[in-house]
Structure 1
């Protein structure tokens, strides 16, 4: 393999091989498989968001419930505020929201990945084998787009020659370096708007 590939200048050998493995697995699936993967990834995002918001609300109101309802001795409720210890409540709420969202999404992702009955065929199972949870937003975007338009299917990372484009992305994750979900098969850019990114994060199909 030629060392002139610009991807090899910004990715570790392990990351570059992961790109190749994902590309080869992705090439073996059809349109229906892409729809199925996109739907499952959206479902995971929706479930994790629901749990995250629920745990966040419980964490936020936890100190108030503890002080006002349980009425522990030596703790006097703040008389002029509905929320007790608002700053602490905000910190606890935000922390439980992030933790609930992350661990719920990771649980459902790994459960799907490790359950053979979750996949309609071995090709889909092989794609999931080459995905990692920390990149779930990129994969969700990618399969939503490629299920809508096959022009967005990524090119072989071993044939990458556009060094200028790669250099502009080298500070991001390796999935950004290969333009996962942001360029079509001809190399044309399709940058997401802030609204599209927000919808994607909450499991909403941005192609509609």
Structure 2
């Protein structure tokens, strides 16, 4: 499907932070988290800048602090997402046309972010809360949510006015079900991973975005 960026979630870290970083980069994916630290360092990019049909889209990501003790003991620390976004959003606004936030904080926390951080055009959220077939608009920010555990695929078309502000948004959310054909290659891949890591039965959790990477923001301490 051409996914190029993902928001690092708690289940993504189940196999170790460095495994996630190395495996996703090897597959051409971009794991993002602006507020996650590993052994005191920022190992994931806080944001990426993508060219989507000639529009510069800045994609930020924030990771939930709901981590189990084993992951925390491995040296993973999660900083306050609101403080990180207040620092990064103004910087990113000068470089892009639209800012999209990938979040697995949950809908309640996403609503709080909208009230405290100005400049986010779209939030694609996961974590606690239900799915939304229609976007929720709070101020100038659109909040989108899919089904939990990757059970749906969404498509968003954003309309911009002449000043670069979001004029409208069309959202399609398609739930995956048994009527869709099975991806045999994915099944084989999952089987190999289960054999290689027999103790890990965690799924992958996080929000994803499609597009072509144009420029990356620096990894910030």
Q: TM-score, normalised by structure 2?
A: 0.24
Higher share of residues assigned helix: 1
Of structures 1 and 2, the larger Rg is shown by 1
Q: Which has the higher strand share?
A: 2
